[in-house]
Amino acid sequence: LKKMGVSPRAFVWTHAQHGTMNGYLEAAREGAWISIDNVKDRKDRIDWFVKTLTELKKHEVLDHVLISHDAGWYDVGEPNGGDYRGYAAIFRVLIPELKKHGFTKDDIDLLLIENPAKAYALNIRKL
């Protein structure tokens, strides 16, 4: 992106949950958005999100993080479209767990309101 004159702030790294902490930190410090997706109502997934988001907060890059359920899924080959996964795990499970681990209302608003508004705003983002 930089070689083409585009700011890393124009890049949203989706499905970043497959990345590494070092990769997240490097990308965020360059200005890119880190979208960690696939929040599920499963203890192992919630624990991973809490650990990862806590680490990103500790490194002061929470202002470059997006989260999503990446849910819904419809499979035309399955009866009734297959197993539908809803869009409630962030609100029912993840947020309460984050609060137990010291996340404030401001932190939650940053993740759910402020960051998406900035990341997906229509802007020209040149170097």
Summarised one tens digit per residue, pLDDT across range 37-58 is: 989 889 999 999 999 999 999 9
What is the average per-residue pLDDT within 11-33? 95
User: Against a cut of 0.85, is the pTM above it?
Assistant: yes
What is the model's pLDDT at position 86? 77
* pLDDT(96) > 90: yes
Q: What average pLDDT does the structure give for the chain?
A: 92
Q: What is the spatial order of strands in the sheet that 33-36 belongs to? A: 12-13, 33-36, 65-67
In DSSP terms, 36 is beta-bridged to: 67
What is the model's pLDDT at position 2? 84
Per the CB < 8 A criterion, the answer to whether 65 and 36 are in contact is yes
What is the model's pLDDT at position 92? 96
Query: With bands split at pLDDT 50, 70 and 90, how would you rate the model's confidence at 65?
Result: very high
Instruction: Show contacts of 24-32: CB within 8 Å, 24+ apart.
Output: 24/52, 24/56, 24/61, 25/56, 25/59, 25/61, 27/64, 28/56, 28/61, 28/64, 28/65, 29/61, 31/7, 31/64, 32/8, 32/64
Per the CB < 8 A criterion, the answer to whether 33 and 56 are in contact is no
What is the model's pLDDT at position 122? 80
* pLDDT(105) > 80: yes
Question: Which residue, chain included where needed, has tokens 């989706």?
Answer: 14
Cβ contacts of residue 25 below 8 Å, gap of 6+? 56, 59, 61
